[in-house]
């Protein structure tokens, strides 16, 4: 029986690329989305048609604990349970520091950090029962060494995901492996939208390979980390950033 992978925030960008790659690898796929219904349903249709596996598109705000419980219950009823969890859902409410509000800060942390906690906690009993599980938290170099004051809440949330990874790995081992990926500048539609060419050029110059990454390249790394080939990798933070320099 195929294992099931749940990717949060999977309708677009990195999440979409991960869903497609894991479908190619033979996993049944659960596409979680909050607002991008059209994109999620189109992706689910593509996955079922192209790979002949089971695929669900489920709406859920991961910061809402009751909504998460309902989503995972649906997965358990239709696909038994979640074997692989990719905590990818995130928001970035970029704004000048002096214009930031506590409400924005809390909302970012609620989605990016509390959301990851909510889903991990809900899938944990099934993984524990089966003595198997893989959880990948999608952080960012913004949580490590690349900081922008206009993204202070986002940066804090991505740093918190790294800490969450360590604690979950300690709690869930040895059979459930928890790792974290920290992408740098990845050329998704969200990442590129709204920036002028001068800014994009200056950011690219900070990267040793002199280009921004592709969502598919993050998906390849996820594919490896959840596979049996990575069975000795646990509680690890892996940067995928082309050798990106930190903030100066």
Q: Could you give the C-alpha distances from 40 to 20, 33, 58, 69, in angstroms and in order? A: 12, 7, 8, 20
Q: Which H or E run includes 122?
A: helix 115-130
Distances in Å between the alpha carbon of 246 and those of 24, 95, 123, 144, 165? 34, 20, 35, 8, 22
Give the separation between CA 20 and CA 8, rounded to whole angstroms.
13
Distance (Å, rounded) from C-alpha 28 to C-alpha 31? Answer: 10
Q: Is 52 left (phi over 0), alpha (psi -120 to 50) or beta?
A: left
Could you confirm whether 154 is annotated as catalytic? Answer: yes
Q: How many CB atoms lie within 10 A of CB 44?
A: 23
- From the candidates 27, 33, 126, 154, which is the catalytic residue? 154
- Start-to-end CA distance of the chain, whole Å, equals 50
- Give the active site residues: 154
């Amino acid at each position: 029986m195929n294992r099931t992978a749940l990717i949060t925030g999977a309708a677009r960008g990195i999440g979409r690329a991960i869903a497609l790659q894991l479908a190619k690898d033979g996993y049944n796929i659960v596409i979680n989305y909050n607002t991008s219904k059209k994109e999620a349903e189109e992706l689910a249709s593509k996955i079922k048609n192209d790979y002949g596996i089971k695929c669900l598109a489920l709406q859920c705000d991961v910061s809402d604990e009751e909504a998460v419980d309902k989503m995972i219950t649906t997965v358990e009823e239709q696909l038994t349970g979640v074997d692989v969890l990719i905590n990818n859902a995130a928001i970035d409410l970029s704004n000048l520091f002096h214009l930031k509000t506590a409400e924005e800060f809390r909302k970012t942390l609620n989605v990016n950090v509390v959301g990851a906690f909510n889903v991990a906690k809900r899938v944990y009993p099934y993984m524990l029962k089966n003595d198997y599980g893989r959880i990948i938290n999608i952080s960012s170099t913004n949580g490590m060494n690349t900081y922008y004051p206009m993204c202070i809440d986002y940066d804090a949330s991505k740093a918190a995901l790294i800490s969450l990874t360590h604690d979950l790995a300690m709690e869930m081992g040895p059979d459930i492996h928890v790792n974290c990926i920290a992408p740098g500048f990845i050329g998704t539609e969200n990442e590129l939208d709204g920036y002028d060419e001068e800014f994009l050029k200056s950011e690219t110059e900070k990267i040793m390979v002199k280009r921004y990454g592709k969502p598919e390249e993050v998906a390849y790394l996820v594919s490896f980390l959840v596979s049996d080939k990575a069975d000795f990798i646990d509680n690890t933070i892996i940067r995928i950033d082309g050798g990106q320099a930190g903030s100066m």
